[in-house]
Chain A
Amino acid sequence: MPTPAVPAACQVEKTVPGPGMGDFSYVGIDAILEQMRRKAMKQGFELNIMVVGQSGLGKSTLMNTLFKSKVSRKSVQATSQEKIPKTIHIKSVSHDIEEKGVRMKLTVIDTPGFGDQINNENCWQPIMKFINAQYEQYLQEEININRKKRIPDSRVHCCIYFIPPTGHCLRPLDVEFMRRLSKVVNIVPVIAKADTLTLEERDFFKQKIREELRANGIDVYPQKEFDEDAEDRMINDKIREMIPFAVVGSDQEYQVNGRRLLGRKTKWGTIEVENIAHCEFAYLRDLLIRTHMENIKDITSSIHYEVYRVRRLNENNTAVAHANGLPQHHMTSHEM
């Protein structure tokens, strides 16, 4: 039987001009956008956010404010007394939320006990372990022979790090944590309870933070190296000039100028959470949810996860090599 020719695709670049006059020159390729949208609506989305910070910085409130519902861990558990745990716990709660036909499974991962001990050495370790465990779980499923149609995604897409509003600079704990974790997950630092800072103090604080991040080589989201094109870079540069966002959270509504708004009422005034003149909550919300959610998930799956995967697969190669007494260099360069 003569061997069949399996040719390489010859790249013939022909651009068909857009729809011309009359119905018949319209092919309908752009209908695929609608098809994709339909598919996305049917499947729904998953989002996993982790909140990290000392107790009392308003993490749960911020989550509730972001998603306009009781999504935080505290809203789910029935404890009336909030005790600061002796060690770091990792608790995740999932919710099904729906908006205009779009369904989303939101998982909020809380880390009570972080930074609350007297000796906080290695407090990032359990968090790192958790994040890597999610990657591991996904990897296990991915290399199965019989695998699910849609691999459930429990990987942490975004880690919001709460910086206490000291007004001076980052603490060593903050630097250590962000330095280590920015390599495995997207970190979005925010200045918590920013209503204790005046605008000048806030700007100064932000600048100091940005300097320190740069000095320590910490790449927070949006990372410069993952900008896709010039347009992307422009948008992300603007964001990078504003991080960390100074946020205020609230899940209580008050009457302001005849409207009901989310805010914090004090004797000297009401802070409107969604007013960008008051705080930068709206920017955070827009970044996380309205504009960059897909990008955050993309970077998690195609960069952070892949880095983990490469490391894990190479690790296994060397382990197997040692077990078999074969020289390591045989294995590490080998690809399946």
Chain B
Amino acid sequence: MLAGNRKCITARAPEKVGEGARAVPLAGHVGFDSMPDQLVNKSVNHGFCFNILCVGETGLGKSTLMDTLFNTKFEGEPTQHNQPGVQLKSNTYELQESNVRLKLTVVNTVGFGDQINKEDSYKSIVEFIDTQFEAYLQEELKIKRTLHSYHDTRIHACLYFIAPTGHSLKSLDLVTMKKLDSKVNIIPIIAKSDAISKSELTKFKIKITSELVSNGVQIYQFPTDDETVAEINSTMNGHLPFAVVGSTEEVKIGNKMVKARQYPWGTVQVENENHCDFVKLREMLIRVNMEDLREQTHTRHYELYRRCKLEEMGFKDTDPDCKPFSLQETYEAKRNEFMGDLQKKEEEMRQMFVQRVKEKEAELKEAEKELHEKFDRLKKLHQDEKKKLEDKKKSLDDELNGFKQKKTAAELLQSQAQQAGGSTTLKRDKERKK
């Protein structure tokens, strides 16, 4: 605690304004009622971000609906549908209306429902959503972070396009929505609803809603806690899923140009509430609940992702007496553990290597020793042979000497004998010769 000073805080920090603090009446105009304006001004200067994900099969009019909603032609040409698997294409646009700048990102699922085996169709969508959460989480966990200017790519609203079959939801739809409902705000809409008649439409809507409920799919409910919008939101909640028609072409009705689809048997006006629910969708998505969609994404879906991810990585919240920074410390501890393991492994490998070298060395030493022995043996052998030969040579020499001696002795004798009877031998030899 602070040495020598008493920290005396008389009020706890409550969760909502108004709890745990005394209410005090003001005697005059202070001026903090300008706070909402200050806040709004700051946001206007900063700009807004909104990210919509359109999930639906090919040809349900996703791109056209986006164009119609935001009154602009977004993409140049329709997307190619020749890739395997489900691809997610995202495009960002800067829109401006009066003084509000909006950075709108529209993500389209290309190839959804095109495969023969659709079991894994939802996976790439879930991965995409998770990747955006992960990016935000990484930014939030950084030491030096810039959350203030971070471009938020998390998906705020997912428009799920239901094919206008008129019967019920497809199993692909149910499976996909079930996988997405805890990750994103789902707003289901019936696409190309001019293909269904009014009576069929009511039955279709009821069937869809009951299927969603019985399968436990949590779709986004427009908030009803704020009195200003509670009524309209609860009415709209009853109209889900919205049956929409999209069109960027204009047709002259009466003396006005309106967005419509022209058929030989009549014209479907996009903004006519009797014809389709487009106006309701625009109202709910943009004009009334855009901020709530962003808030739900941040406080509910992102928090859930964050919690799961951190728990998965092995973090736990600290007890009050433990050291702080469980995240940081646990992460460091894990990292050190890992490094320790690595080092141990390295040591082991090194030991093994040293061992092997030793063994090999010993082997080689053995071989060397053997060779030396062999060499010694051979040398000895050689010496023996040499000795033998020398002995032999010696004996031969001795013999030779003996013989020489004998020879000289014999010659001497002979020469003596010759002198004595030499003349006779000579005569005899001479007579013989004659």
- B-contacting residues of A (Cβ < 8 Å)? 1-16, 18-19, 22-33, 35-47, 66-71, 76, 87-105, 107, 125-126, 129-130, 133, 136-137, 140, 143-150, 152-154, 228, 262, 285-286, 289-295, 298, 302, 306, 309-310, 312-314, 316-317, 320-321, 324, 326, 331, 335-336
Report whether A336 and B100 are in contact in the complex, using a CB–CB cutoff of 8 Å.
no
Q: Which residues of B contact A27 (CB under 8 A)?
A: 69-71, 95, 97, 282, 286
Report whether B22 and A94 are in contact in the complex, using a CB–CB cutoff of 8 Å.
yes
Asked if B399 CB lies within 8 Å of chain A CBs, one says no
Q: Which of A27, A41, A292 has the most CB of B within 10 A?
A: A27
Assembly CA distance A127 to B28 (angstroms): 32
Nearest chain A CB to B361's CB is how many angstroms away? 34
Of the residues A66, A102, A317, contact of B33 by C-beta under 8 Å: A102
Report whether A294 and B99 are in contact in the complex, using a CB–CB cutoff of 8 Å.
no
Residue of B nearest to A21 (CB): B257
Q: Which residues of A contact B6 (CB under 8 A)?
A: 87, 89-90
Number of A-B contacts (CB under 8 A): 332
Cβ proximity bits B293-330 to A, threshold 8 Å, 1 near / 0 not: 00100010001001100110001110000001111110
Report whether A28 and B282 are in contact in the complex, using a CB–CB cutoff of 8 Å.
yes
Of the residues B5, B36, B91, contact of A102 by C-beta under 8 Å: B36
Q: Which of B18, B34, B142, B282 has the most CB of A within 10 A?
A: B34
Q: Which residues of A contact B288 (CB under 8 A)?
A: 31, 35
Assembly CA distance A250 to B328 (angstroms): 50
Instruction: Kindly list the 5 A-B residue pairs having the minimum CB-CB distance in the complex, ordered from nearest.
Output: A4-B124, A44-B17, A152-B13, A94-B11, A35-B291
Report whether A105 and B89 are in contact in the complex, using a CB–CB cutoff of 8 Å.
no
Of the residues B31, B87, B329, contact of A286 by C-beta under 8 Å: B31
Nearest chain B CB to A234's CB is how many angstroms away? 15
| Interface secondary structure of A, over-half rule | mixed
Q: Which residues of B contact A93 (CB under 8 A)?
A: 10-11
- Asked whether A289 and B32 contact (CB < 8 A) given A25-B71, A28-B282, A90-B5, the answer is yes
Report whether A38 and B287 are in contact in the complex, using a CB–CB cutoff of 8 Å.
no
Assembly CA distance A229 to B333 (angstroms): 44
Residue of A nearest to B14 (CB): A152
Residue of B nearest to A91 (CB): B8
- Asked whether A92 and B10 contact (CB < 8 A) given A2-B85, A4-B86, A331-B332, the answer is yes
Report whether B143 and A314 are in contact in the complex, using a CB–CB cutoff of 8 Å.
yes
Report whether A228 and B45 are in contact in the complex, using a CB–CB cutoff of 8 Å.
yes
Report whether A104 and B258 are in contact in the complex, using a CB–CB cutoff of 8 Å.
no
- Asked whether A95 and B24 contact (CB < 8 A) given A145-B315, A290-B31, the answer is yes
Asked if B369 CB lies within 8 Å of chain A CBs, one says no
- Asked whether A13 and B94 contact (CB < 8 A) given A90-B8, A102-B35, the answer is yes
Assembly CA distance A295 to B10 (angstroms): 27
Of the residues A9, A29, A88, A294, contact of B97 by C-beta under 8 Å: A29
Within 8 A of A (CB), among B191-233: 226, 228-229
Of the residues A5, A22, A68, contact of B88 by C-beta under 8 Å: A5
Report whether B31 and A44 are in contact in the complex, using a CB–CB cutoff of 8 Å.
no
Residue of A nearest to B298 (CB): A149
Within 8 A of A (CB), among B111-135: 120, 123-124, 127-128, 131
Report whether B336 and A324 are in contact in the complex, using a CB–CB cutoff of 8 Å.
yes
Q: Which residues of A contact B299 (CB under 8 A)?
A: 149
Assembly CA distance A33 to B148 (angstroms): 19
Report whether B86 and A96 are in contact in the complex, using a CB–CB cutoff of 8 Å.
no
Given contacts A7-B87, A40-B36, A310-B143, 9 further A-B contacts (CB under 8 A): A12-B92, A29-B95, A35-B289, A45-B35, A88-B5, A145-B306, A147-B303, A293-B32, A294-B35
20 contacts across the A-B interface (CB closer than 8 A)? A6-B128, A9-B153, A12-B74, A14-B72, A15-B95, A16-B95, A19-B97, A28-B286, A31-B290, A45-B32, A95-B21, A95-B22, A105-B18, A105-B21, A130-B2, A136-B324, A291-B34, A313-B328, A321-B332, A336-B327
Report whether B92 and A4 are in contact in the complex, using a CB–CB cutoff of 8 Å.
no
